[in-house]
Structure 1
Amino acid sequence: MPAADSDADENPYLRNPSTEFDPVDDLTEAEVREQVELLREAIREHDRRYYVENDPLIADRTYDALFERLQVLESAFDCSHPDSPTRSVGGEPIEAFETVDHEAPMLSIDQSGEEADVREFDERVRREVGAVDYVCEPKFDGVSMEFVYEDGSLQRAVTRGDGREGDDVTQNARTIGSVPQKLHGDYPDFLVVRGEVFMPKDAFQEHNRERIERGEDPFANPRNATAGTIRQLDPEIVAERPLDVFYFDVLAASELEDSHREELERFPEFGLRVTDHVEIVDDIDDAIAYRDRMLEARDDLNYEIDGTVIKVDDRDAREELGRTARHDRYAFAYKFPARAEVTPIADVAVQIGRTGRVTPVALLEPVDVGGVTVSRASLHNPEEIAEKNVDIGDTVRVQRAGDVIPYVEEVIEKGAENEPESHYELPDHCPVCDSAIERDGPMAFCTGGLACDAQLRRSIEYYASDGGLDLEGLGEQSVRQLVDAGLVESIADLYELEREDLTTLEGWGETSAENLLSEIDASREPPLADFLSALGIPHVGPTTARELAREFGTFEAVREAAEDDPAALEGVDDVGETVAETIHEFFASEANAAAVADILAHVSPQETVLESGGDELDGLTFVFTGSLADVTRSEAQETVEAHGANATGSVSGNTDYLIVGENPGATKREDAEENDVPIIDEGEFRELLAERGIDLGS
């Protein structure tokens, strides 16, 4: 996680920033300097997340507001600095590729969503160089790149990077069908062009649907999908993804045309694709009218645009206008307003959870919701789809509840091809394993169990998580690698892994392989409560698993009760009729029974022996969050319970202490602060026990 993320609570412009600013005249010099430094720090981090990590924290419009605020403050108080984001393009090349210098600077474009700013640009241009023609083009929302051709052959393709140097991604670019390896026609001996790599919208939605159905996180928008693809280390992966390119500028050439329009006219002769939506105008009113027409047409295009670009046509006039450290002064981007909350459903994907639950997910035309760009929204379950009458093609209102996945609130307009009462129907079979999908009340479930790859991946992830056996080094990415490589087809296969299996995978070395194997080997005799929780039995988390372990003592006793006498489970704390029935169904499943048997061939859960250590903690209630350094959470919970305390899974007004370990969850801490519950770390917890003569162990 980036270091700057840890400062999110201290810098108000990192996460969910407000763009309502105090008037500049109301600020003191000290307040200005503080705000300027916070904005610079935040914008640098947003640049890094956007350009390098491809994982933006905020929507583009929010970023623009922060950037504009910084520009205003620096101008009003004359406090600009060479290192300020306003003086550079931003975004450093990642280390995985060779860094190379650009043949010519790849500067950004001055931009605004206000018509007055566009007219001010025009007034400055005409004041400095006189009457001009403008070339109007769509402002593509993709990844800008430099393509270098020598003697007509593609020599190099480089990402924009920081505007002066970027990543050499030539091998990846060669896999894109619209990137000619050899130019056609009467081309210059040396030609450097700027293009925008993008993923078509229909291909983006299809790609996201496939990712969701494979159990992977979808991309936020087509630009992120493009950026994530072009920086893949394996060109074969790039070749499998549907990227495209529009070319729109000459950066350098052995022979230059007199005007931009002539350059664009010659591009197709060379085999370089240009957009059909280019217009030449002779006044700013026509340029503004062009932008308004493109705003109306944007939803009909099969690629994302977020505005239009107005460029001076004549090359001599361009040179006379010059450039700043950040942008060329001959061009201006007239931005579109962000789509807010209302957007069409382009497709619906089916997501399979760890327990087999089927969740339909609406794939949206990217939309701004509360300052965050979203491209998917939960439809929750088949019953809710029917109630809201939601179908593919409908225009819907999207809302966010906290930080969870956005959801479809209501249908605003039915799709043109949809009947008034039509709604989306789930498929009959799982898109991952082709097992039947069955309804259970308002919910739907894949019947494939652990034989379903989607459930398998999530089951392995959960087995290794903090709520399971806490196997460090076995997260979402590494589990996906193991499953995709065919090395793991069940949880039990983890215990068959060898060092040579791991070191053949990308990103794995001898040390990381040995560390994971050591973690797995150390989990062969887990506490019973941890093992029960790790199995991923629906409704059986760490707290319920601990109560089952305390009640039955051994795994065999738990399984026997679940199979033969589920009513016996109902006497356990946290286990009612519904949970007991769920546990019974888990063990009754042939697929689950076989998977558990395979695991038990490698794992021997420890018997839970309750020893009363006294009543030193009688009447106290503890809640734990995060990982403890020297003992498991289950062991800590058993220790306090053995000495008369209660250990519960959630914080309430009756909680006496919240013990916080490494990587704690935010919810429990927030609940503790709300209820004035003392929050202590592991060291303070040990001191509290020691004061009462209790040794936590190590």
Structure 2
Amino acid sequence: MTSAQSGSSPRHADPDENPYVEAPPTDFEPVEELSEGEAAEQASLLRAAVREHDHRYYVEADPLIPDETYDRLFARLEALEDAFDLPTEGSPTRRVGGEPLDELETVEHVAPMRSIDNATDADAVREFDERVRSGLDDEGFDPDDVAYVCEPKFDGLSVEVVYEDGVYARAATRGDGTEGDDVTEQVRTIRSVPGRLRGDPPATLAVRGEVYMPRDAFEAYNEELVERGEEPFANPRNAAAGTLRQLDPAVVAERPLDVFFFDVLAWETGEERAAGDEGGDESDAPRRPDAHWAEFDAFDAFGLRRTDRVERVGDVEAAIDYRDRLMAERDDLNYEIDGVVIAVDDRAHREALGSTSRAPRWAFAHKFPPRTATTTVEGVTVQVGRTGRLTPVAELDPVDVGGVTVSRATLHNPAEIEALGVNVGDRVRIYRAGDVIPYVPEVVEKRSEGAYEFPERCPVCDAPVERDGPLAFCTGGLGCPAQLERAVEHWARRDALDVEGLGPERVEQLREAGLVESLPDLYDLTVEELAALEGWGETSAENLVAELEATREPPLDAFLAGLGIPDVGATTARALAAEFGDLDAILDADEEALRAVDDVGPEVADSIRTFLDNEENRAAIEGLRERGVEPESVEVESGDALDGLTFVFTGSLSTTRSEAQAHVEAHGADATSSVSGNTDYLVAGENPGRSKRDDAEDEGVPVLDEDEFADLLAERGVAWPPEE
């Protein structure tokens, strides 16, 4: 594969012509000082540069700039597009997700997405090779000329992605092979899917890819779900499939999906169109490669991410050897595979062999044997998580599963135990896949009476256990030692109070030493007490005490995030802080008031109220305040002076557009992003976009400049601009 490694493949942006590719400047002049033409030119350069940086980071894993520099470029592009109403079709900024969908539409594939015949037995692969050679011989080809391309068989979700004139057009799931679900907006958010191809792609290019969730990202995401009190995904494939079928693309954008492309479904040069034009020249139309191996070169040239674990071999024994080597290495990969695909390389050979109604005759999947084993349940342990969620774990008679000795497997939750009917003494099947926690999919021999009886009281603190659907929770709150340790770890997290020096081992040590029996006890720690502990010194003790002292007046949102309220992460905590302004208002808010906050629905409101009503949790909050930990209040403007009005903003104002929207909303108005018949006023700052002004003219909506807007607000007793 020469083109992928030569560094000569085309780029989205030439560093000699685009200043934002290598060592880009980020000290931009204010947006309001740019003309519309200057803004459009800068945005064009930024779009090309961001595409190049996305490719280098997500496809080549070789970034050119630090993350913070990329963030500044991206933010500048968003600001320009927003301030000048620049078109965003095909822009990298569209990856953040579009409007939620009502349902997934069904679309027809440009070419069939067939299944592949498969087997775990090497002899079945040899029989496939015999069929290939016999078929080629019957069609007049030399059977000794056959070569195979071997590649991993990814365990994700297969998709068709279509590009028109090099621009991302649509995506669909495999479905029944002929039709699939339209997931265009969902796939658009995946960073490794280019919005625009590099180089000289054909007029229409349809490629097949596999969407997956990397193992390390899957583990981190599952931990996040558990911390929020939500059910984790069983494996990366389920996580990828469940994410891609989300109706809200913004949700998909927040989840760590990735993709590998591995096959061409359609390659159309547009020759018919060119030939129909007077003087049309077909000589420059890019031709489809004659072999699958060469198509990987084209993928590299177009900027389509593909695996580097592909090999071209000359006989079936080498293909079987490839499969055996990859099976031995599968646990070292950051993605799940369940076998390898062995495919005839030459396209003329493929066309001669053809396909059945279900599968091509020129490809075969050599699957890995399932990683399962049978053993006996010797006991059940119930673990307690940070949110109080109880997770049952089967203690097993140790058994080898795929080369790894497994002695414990998750039973997920009490509902899963009831569904399996599993109990101590039963013979069960154990399933293990890569780094996924082993689990019990079935009971193969019932040797006990009934199912394991889930405890009615917490095994750690003896507080009552409550069921919430399939899940069970300890009601002990922060008074439960198991929850306390994890709560302290959560309090110290970077996205909460950001206390360095409070990792899991140290938190456990502090609790076992009797120094931290509740969250407020952190603020009673002294240098002398800490320095006396094993592994501590004067300096480390002083550093931790200083870190804690610095958090005595935390931002309100950080305090809320640090409490570890189920379903309340950093985003929801900011929304709560902005809505209520101070801690007491949040403590006193009922569910109806909580539901009025952006990002807070009925379930989250119930979760917040349940947490705050728990005696142990409320005692911990009061204990923190007694020790001088008092979150800073946020000034909240509220009123109804603008009630009933709807504003749309365009152009550059004396404050940012988001601040303008928040200001009118704080006084009872609505602020939307597009003009409609329900809009009362379009507020146009400097260099306003044409589209919103045209829409306002069509709808008969009055257009105000900033001075006229300020006068309108003054008549209603509202100041402009907002006071800082």
TM-score by length of 2: 0.42
TM-score by length of 1: 0.44
